Amino acid sequence: MPKIKDLSLAEAGRLKVEFAEQHMPALMRVRQDFEKAKPLKGIMIAACLHVTKETAVLAKTLAAGSAEVALCGSNPLSTQDDVAAYLAKEGIDVFAWHGVTTEEYYWCINQALATGPNILIDDGADLISTAIKENKLEGIICGLEETTTGVIRFKAMERDKALKLPIIAVNNAKTKMLLDNIIGTGQSTLDGILRATNILLAGKTFVVAGYGNCGKGLAKRAEGMGCKVVITETDPIKALQAFYDGYSVMGMDEAAKTGDIFVTVTGNRDVIKGRHIEKMKSGAIIANSGHFNVEINTEELSSLSAGKRTLRPNLEEYRLKTGKIIYLLAEGRLVNLAAAEGHPSEIMQTSFCNQALCVKHAAQNRGRLEKKVYDVPHEIDRHVAELALASYGVKTDILTQEQKKYLESWEHGT
Ligand code: ADE
């Protein structure tokens, strides 16, 4: 039995999902193929994903392939209750509602695991690490991971010989990482900041902590909106890249003094600490777009504060004991999903084509995969790009036989 907030929201959810379907033609093409071939017959899937309209399109695609699908949320604030209601009405076993407590969050994960899945789809590794810790792995063929943070956790498990099942790092597909992480995060993070505050971006000093793919996309979009962009980094290679991309690069202690808006996208903890907050200008806005709410030390923010009030959804004003004001967005949880709706459908379609096709790949390779972290097969990655290009009517050049031969040979030189 699904557990959601309110089934009467299903009609609103249906309309949202229909709109998403219109903007995810590549994934709808995969759905058509799944409807014909039914490649997931007899497969039970448990997915721990942000419950958005795009995830609904994925869940329905997997169901079209004849899979039985259970779904729980991958973040306490990212579930869209209307979408959850619609999916529950469509026969998906949904265990998710907006604003779950930590205890409820893990209850939902355990409900999804109790459906007896064969394939686990994760976003952040909480579902699969729960299955591993609680030894609920019977019948499981493979796990798939959607995000960088989750892949890092699985690689750590692999290193520690604690990985108990094969994992496909869907995040690492080029048609995921180079699109979703860069373009998706760039747009959806600004979207979250704007929905929470409606401030003018032009002319602001926008500090991006972390210059991985997400940071790169965010910096570019903020620059495009007229911000002066400052990058903080710990990795010298990424810092040098940011410097050559034309951004000011400095440590957070320095950046804290100049920034108007701060966004963390590092995947690490304590990137903005009390000592940074003490240096910030009154009125500074801080937000996080990394997977977990550990990047901004909100406990230290609270202990520096004399009080706080909620001005509007996802916008909290902290009054520091010194009299300064600091605004925190979405409680320091991922601002793009908590204050907005996550990445747009067009971007999620390539990420989720990879998910759907990797589920099929895992089902077809039952028993043949080892307990290690796999990359997405190149043919799948390439096929996803072809599907997306075809949906836009974009044609590419095709290698001639001579060009193929040239690329494969080592004899030719100067
Ligand atoms: N991650 C980022 N954006 C998302 C979306 N729209 N749906 C599901 N997961 C996401």
pLDDT of 412 reads 85
For 315, list phi and psi in degrees, rounded to 5.
-130, 105
pTM, full prediction = 0.96
**Listed residue (24, 23, 76, 31) closest to 51, CA to CA:** 76
Give the pLDDT means over successive 10-residue stretches in the chain (414 positions).
95 98 98 98 98 98 98 96 97 97 98 98 97 96 96 96 97 97 98 98 98 98 98 98 98 98 97 98 98 97 98 98 98 97 98 98 96 98 98 97 95 86
Question: Same CATH fold, 183-338 and 7-176+343-391?
Answer: yes
Q: Which fold has domain 183-338?
A: Rossmann fold (3.40.50)
Domain ranges of the chain: 7-176+343-391, 183-338
Pocket test for ligand 1, best of 48, 54, 146, 171 (most atoms within 8 A of CB): 54
Compute, in angstroms, the gap from residue 357 CA to the centroid of ligand 1. 18
Compute, in angstroms, the gap from residue 349 CA to the centroid of ligand 1. 10
Which atom of ligand 1 is nearest to 345's Cα?
6
CB 34 within 8 A of CB 61: yes
How crowded is the C-beta side of 75, counted as CA atoms within 13 Å? 28
pLDDT of 1 reads 86
Compute, in angstroms, the gap from residue 50 CA to the centroid of ligand 1. 6
Name the residue at shortest CA distance from atom 1 of ligand 1.
Answer: 342
Ligand 1 lining (C-beta closer than 6 Å): 49-50, 52, 54-55, 188, 337, 342-343, 348
Copy the structure tokens of residue 328: 């925190």
Pairing of strands 119-122, 315-320: unpaired
Q: Give the whole-angstrom CA distance, residue 122 versus residue 223.
A: 32
**Listed residue (226, 251, 224) closest to 239, CA to CA:** 251
pLDDT of 413 reads 85
Compute, in angstroms, the gap from residue 322 CA to the centroid of ligand 1. 38
Compute, in angstroms, the gap from residue 55 CA to the centroid of ligand 1. 7
How crowded is the C-beta side of 295, counted as CA atoms within 13 Å? 27
Q: Which fold has domain 7-176+343-391?
A: Rossmann fold (3.40.50)
Q: Give the whole-angstrom CA distance, residue 73 versus residue 127.
A: 10
Helices and strands, number each (H, E), in the chain: 18, 15
Name the residue at shortest CA distance from atom 10 of ligand 1.
Answer: 342
pLDDT of 220 reads 98
